[in-house]
């Protein structure tokens, strides 16, 4: 025989080749199954990744909207806050003006006293916030006067003793009117109404408080109010000229008025005169 | 089959799944700290429910005011389950309820509606 392989060998070889083919097919189908699984899995992964991206994009968009909404609300709150503060300021001034209206004091008197009070407070050492609060509280110091009868309130001459006592009740009355509120501003206003007729030497009314016993708001308003009253025409008297006013203040330093405040007043006289000038009665 | 009732909290919605009536409700905000943990009972229930325990018609009412990103993913997974059930021939209706003023909620509903075209997904104005 000229073949390289015997029949037996050839058969054996064929068999092995067949086996390999079967083996190949099995492997191939396993691989193909894997391929399918792999594609399924990667498809799912891709879908998940795409979904994540989508979620991120939408989330970003939503966050921007929420940010805008927040900004809008902040602006609203700020505007409202401003509105409230402005309203409070005006109501307070109006109340002060009402308190003075029956005795024919002008709205500018109220503004002047408020402004003097703030300046005195700042130089005395109060914070901007405290001084501003006093500026708003002090105009209400004479609110008790609304309960004083016309005949007394607008009497052109001097009071007799009885009339004097009645007039002096406006301090207590003002306090009674304002004390009900717990708002810091109105509590301060109540104190100022109560104590703006106290004197540094203890000879004031209604409580006869002395020196630092008197709330600083009371001491300041006392000075501011008298300064303005003396410099204006009233039912019962004409305006004093400046020299007369300054002499009185010097005399009353430590008596009627807190000496520190009198000193501050003279130290910054030009400022007070400038206020008086800019808020002159028309 | 048991129902699922979870009360609303500051950050998580109320969940009320009545398996007897086939009415599922999700109401409130979704900002859970661990989204997977929070929604697990719900997801388990839904899977079990659609595994032969479902009613003829299932109604899903979702009134989600705000939700964080992980909740978004969770809702996707939830709708996947629903879609699977739908493909199995079950009848399911989804109502996405939103407030007129809440643009975000409307947009979110529209997005999900688009993502799951095959489902009966209704946008319902409150």
Which tens digits make up the pLDDT trace of A251-278?
Answer: 999 999 999 999 999 999 999 999 999 9
Is the pLDDT score of A79 beyond 80?
A: yes
| Pairing state between β B57-67 and B23-30 | parallel
Judge whether residue A52 has pLDDT over 80.
Answer: yes
What does the pLDDT average to over A86-103? Answer: 84
For residues A190 and A281, the model is more confident at A190
> Is A51–B69 a contact, with Cβ atoms under 8 angstroms apart?
no
Closest partner CB to A65 (pick from B69, B73, B104): B104
What is the mean pLDDT of the segment spanning A16-30? 80
pLDDT of A274: 95
Flag if A51 and B76 touch (Cβ within 8 Å): yes
Determine the average pLDDT of the residues in A181-190. Answer: 93
Phi/psi for B13 (5° steps) reads -80, 170
Strand residues in B1-126 grouped as ranges (E)? 4-6, 14-18, 23-30, 57-67, 91-98, 120-125
Quote the number of domains for chain B.
1
Asked if the C-beta of B80 comes within 8 angstroms of chain A's C-beta atoms, the answer is: no
Q: In what order do the strands lie in the sheet with B4-6?
A: B4-6, B14-18, B23-30, B57-67, B91-98, B120-125
- The pLDDT tens digits of the residues spanning A237-252 come to 889 999 999 999 999 9
Q: Which of A145, A203, A238, A250 is catalytic?
A: A145
Quick one: pLDDT at residue A89? Answer: 85
User: Of A231, A208, A233, which is closest to residue A218 (Cα–Cα)?
Assistant: A208
Residues of A115-141 as b/e, b for ≥16 C-beta within 10 angstroms?
A: bbbbbbbbbbebeeebbbbbbbbbbbb
- Give residue A65's pLDDT band: very low, low, confident or very high (50, 70, 90): confident
Q: How confident is the model at residue A106 (pLDDT cuts 50, 70, 90)?
A: low
Interface contact A62-B76, CB threshold 8 A: no
Residue scoring higher pLDDT (A105 or A111): A111
Cβ contacts (< 8 Å) between B68 and chain A: which residues?
Answer: 59
Give the one of B66, B72, B103 whose C-beta lies nearest to A58's C-beta. Answer: B72
**Contact status, residue B126 vs residue B100, Cβ threshold 8 Å:** yes
pLDDT in tens, A211-227: 999 999 999 999 999 99
- Indicate whether A176 pLDDT > 90: yes
* Residue A58 to residue B76, Cβ atoms within 8 A: no
pLDDT for A105: 66
pLDDT value at residue A2: 53
Task: Tell me what ipTM this predicted complex has.
Answer: 0.79
CATH number for the domain harbouring residue B18: 3.30.750
What is the mean predicted confidence (pLDDT) over A103-112?
78
What pLDDT score was predicted for residue A40? 95
* pLDDT (tens digit per residue) in B87-103: 999 999 999 999 998 88
Using the predicted structure, report yes or no on whether residue A124 has a pLDDT greater than 90: yes
Task: Give me the DSSP letters along A243-273.
Answer: HHHHHHHHHHBTTTB-HHHHHHHHHTHHHHH
pLDDT at site A264: 97
Residues of chain B with pLDDT under 70: none
Phi, psi of B23, rounded to the nearest 5 degrees: -115, 120
Token duo for residue A71: 């900004």
Structural domain boundaries enclosing B44: 4-125
Total Cβ atoms within 10 A of residue B111: 16
């Amino acid at each position: 025989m000229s073949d390289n392989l015997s029949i037996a060998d050839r058969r054996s070889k064929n068999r092995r080749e067949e086996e390999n083919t079967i083996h190949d097919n099995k492997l191939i189908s396993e691989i193909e199954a894997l391929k399918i699984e792999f594609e399924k899995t990667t498809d799912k992964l891709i879908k998940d990744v795409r979904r994540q991206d989508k979620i991120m994009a939408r989330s970003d968009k939503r966050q921007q909207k929420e940010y805008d909404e927040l900004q809008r609300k902040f602006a609203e709150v700020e505007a409202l806050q401003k509105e409230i503060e402005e309203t409070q300021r005006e109501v307070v001034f109006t109340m002060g003006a009402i308190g003075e209206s029956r005795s024919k004091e002008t709205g500018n008197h109220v503004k002047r006293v408020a402004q003097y009070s703030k300046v005195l407070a700042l130089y005395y050492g109060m914070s901007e916030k405290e001084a501003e609060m006093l500026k708003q509280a002090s105009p209400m110091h004479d609110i008790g006067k609304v309960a004083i009868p016309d005949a007394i309130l607008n009497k052109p001459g001097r009071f007799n003793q009885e009339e004097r006592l009645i007039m002096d009740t406006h301090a207590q009355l003002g306090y009674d009117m304002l004390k009900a509120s717990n708002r810091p501003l109105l509590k301060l206003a109540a104190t100022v109404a109560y104590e703006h007729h106290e004197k540094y030497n203890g000879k004031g009314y209604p409580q006869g408080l002395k020196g630092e016993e008197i709330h600083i708001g009371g001491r300041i308003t006392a000075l501011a109010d008298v300064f303005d009253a003396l410099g204006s025409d009233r039912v019962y008297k004409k305006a004093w000229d400046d020299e007369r006013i300054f002499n009185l203040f010097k005399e009353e330093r430590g008596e009627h008025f807190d000496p520190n405040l009198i000193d501050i007043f003279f130290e910054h006289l030009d400022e007070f005169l400038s206020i008086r000038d800019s808020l002159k009665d028309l | 089959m048991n129902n699922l009732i979870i009360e609303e909290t500051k950050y998580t919605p109320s969940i009320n799944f009545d398996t007897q009536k086939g009415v599922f409700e999700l109401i409130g905000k979704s900002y859970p700290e661990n989204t997977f943990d929070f929604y697990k009972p719900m997801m388990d229930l839904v899977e079990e429910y659609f595994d032969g325990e479902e009613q003829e018609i299932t109604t899903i009412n979702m009134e989600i005011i705000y939700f964080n990103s992980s909740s978004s993913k969770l809702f996707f997974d939830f709708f996947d389950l629903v879609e699977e059930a739908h493909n199995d021939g079950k009848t399911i209706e989804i109502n996405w309820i939103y407030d007129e003023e809440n643009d975000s909620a409307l947009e979110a509903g529209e997005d999900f509606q688009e993502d799951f075209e095959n489902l009966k997904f209704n946008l319902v104005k409150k």
